[in-house]
Structure 1
Amino acid sequence: MAWDTEATKGRILDAATAEFVAHGLHGTTIERIARRASVNKERIYNYFGGKPALFAEVLRSKVAEGVGSVAFTGAAVEEVADFAERLVAFNRSRPDLIRLLAWEALAYTDEVPDESARVEMYRRRTEALAAAQDDGALTNAFAPEMLHVLLLSLAGYGALLPHVVRMVTGLSPDDEHYRAAVVEAARRLATP
């Protein structure tokens, strides 16, 4: 029987995702990934080159999933509010990405894996915000890159720190009142 390389890579990526989400780059071991994927460690090194490269591949995949799931145009206030609502829903329904980004922040103090590609994605969003600001459709009280990061922060906070949301508000970030407040805040933040 022939070895199914793609299926093996898929099992490794699934196992690595689960381990990295739970333990981060530094807390995960190749041994645990191999055991979870039912492969030997050498396969991981052969296919992915080691733990940092595997972490980068997992993160690359999850970032692409997020970008593909939560499209952004930023051309008007209601589109910004809708983006915030969809991003909150995505972060809560698929917390792997935001957890991986938190682990990434702890593991890297300088440039992160695939930074140039991610900077380009963020640049396109910021340009959409800038164009809408130039048209008068969005506030110009903030530079477009600051508006962008404020919107991302607002939409990601509840997924990243749900316990703080609960302690401050008594609500889960899944609660409709919390989500409605985030969407309204995004709307007001973007309104000229």
Structure 2
Amino acid sequence: MPYDADATRARIFDAAVAEFSAVGIGGARVERIAERAQANKALIYRYFGSKERLFAAVLADRLKQLVETVSIDPESVAEYVGNLFDYHVTHPEMIRLMMAEEFHSGIADMPGQEARSRYYSSKAQAVRTAQEQGRADTSLDARSVVLALTGLVCWYFAAPHISRMVLDEDPGDPAVLEAHRTALVEAARRIVQPG
């Protein structure tokens, strides 16, 4: 069977996501990634150069998926919260990867920062458009709205032990997830509603 570079790279990415989201960048080991990916450790270094560059490539790939999946529609800004919540339910590793980056890198060291800033700027522009159309409160800074809406969702996944204590229920239970999603979308609607 001929060597399939794309399949190998996909296995490496999947193994790296599992490793980095479980133990962060500092705790991750290329040996474990190679073993899980059924790939040669030297091949990983040849493809990526270092563990940090592998992490940056994996995170960039996962962020690209997030960008392509979740956006803010100026006609229904509050529903962004529901869509983002759904994404994190099906991609629980995403928050852990972003937290691993946060612990490992200073803001000046963040790979792809310029592109990521443009992504968030486009979200703020969608809120501004909603404000211009009379669909969102104009007294709030659009950037702060984006940060608040994102925070509403992300804390639930970043600190599941706190979610469990506050809700006094299993935060992974499908009924709890659905009830919390509904509450978040309603909270977002109240935050952005005009007047």
**TM-score, structure 1 as length reference:** 0.92
Query: Equivalent residue for 1:95?
Result: 92
Deviations 1:54-88 (A, max 9, x none): 10111111111112222322x13xx1221111111
| 1:158 and 2:160 aligned | no
How far did 1:107 drift?
A: 0.8
* Cα distance per residue 1:17-67 (max 9 Å; x no partner): 110111111110111111212222210011111111110111111111112
Aligned 8 A contact 1:151 1:186 in 2 = yes
Kindly report which structure 2 residues correspond to 1:171-182, keeping only aligned pairs within 5 A, or say none.
Answer: 171-173=169-171, 174=174, 175=176, 176-182=178-184
Deviates more, 1:49-58 or 1:126-135: 126-135
**Is residue 86 of structure 1 aligned with residue 83 of structure 2?**
yes
- Whether the 8 Å contact between 2:30 and 2:41 is mirrored in structure 1 is yes
Asked if structure 1 preserves the Cα contact closer than 8 Å seen for 2:156 and 2:163, the reply is yes
Q: Deviation at 1:125? A: 0.9
**Uncovered stretches (5+) of structure 1, i.e. residues with no partner:** none
SS of the aligned residue for 1:90 comes to: helix
Alignment counterpart, residue 136 of structure 1, candidates 131, 134, 137 = 134
Select the residue among 93, 118, 121 that pairs with 1:120.
118
Residue aligning to 1:20: 20
RMSD: 1.5
Once the two structures are overlaid, the 10-residue window that deviates more, 40-49 or 174-183, is: 174-183
Q: Whole-Å Cα distance in 1 between the matches of residues 6 and 157 of structure 2?
A: 32
Q: 1: CA distance between counterparts of 2:13 and 2:38? A: 12
Q: Give every structure 1 segment of 4 or more consecutive aligned residues whose post-TM-superposition deviation is greater than 3 Å.
A: 171-174
Letter aligned with residue 105 of structure 1: E
**Separation (CA, whole Å) in 2 of partners of 1:141 and 1:166:** 34
The 1:122–1:134 alpha-carbon spacing in structure 2 relative to 1, beyond 3 Å, is same
Structure 1 SS opposite 2:77? helix
Identical counterparts, % of pairs: 37
Q: Is the 8 A contact 2:77 2:130 kept in 1?
A: no
Cα distance in 2, alignment partners of residues 162 and 140 from structure 1: 33
1:109 is displaced (CA, Å) by 1.9
Larger mean CA deviation between 46-55 and 172-181 belongs to: 172-181
Structure 2 distance, partners of 1:2, 1:177, is 49
The AA in structure 1 aligned to 2:106 is T
Residue 93 of structure 1 and its aligned partner are, at CA, apart by 2.0
CA distance in 1, matches of 2:19, 2:158: 18
Could you tell me whether the CA contact under 8 Å between 2:71 and 2:123 is conserved in 1? no
Aligned residues: 189
* Residues 121-167 of structure 1, C-alpha deviations (whole Å, 9 max, x = no match): 11111111112212322012321100110000002121111221120
- The residue type equivalent to 1:38 in the other structure is Q
Q: CA deviation at 1:110?
A: 2.1
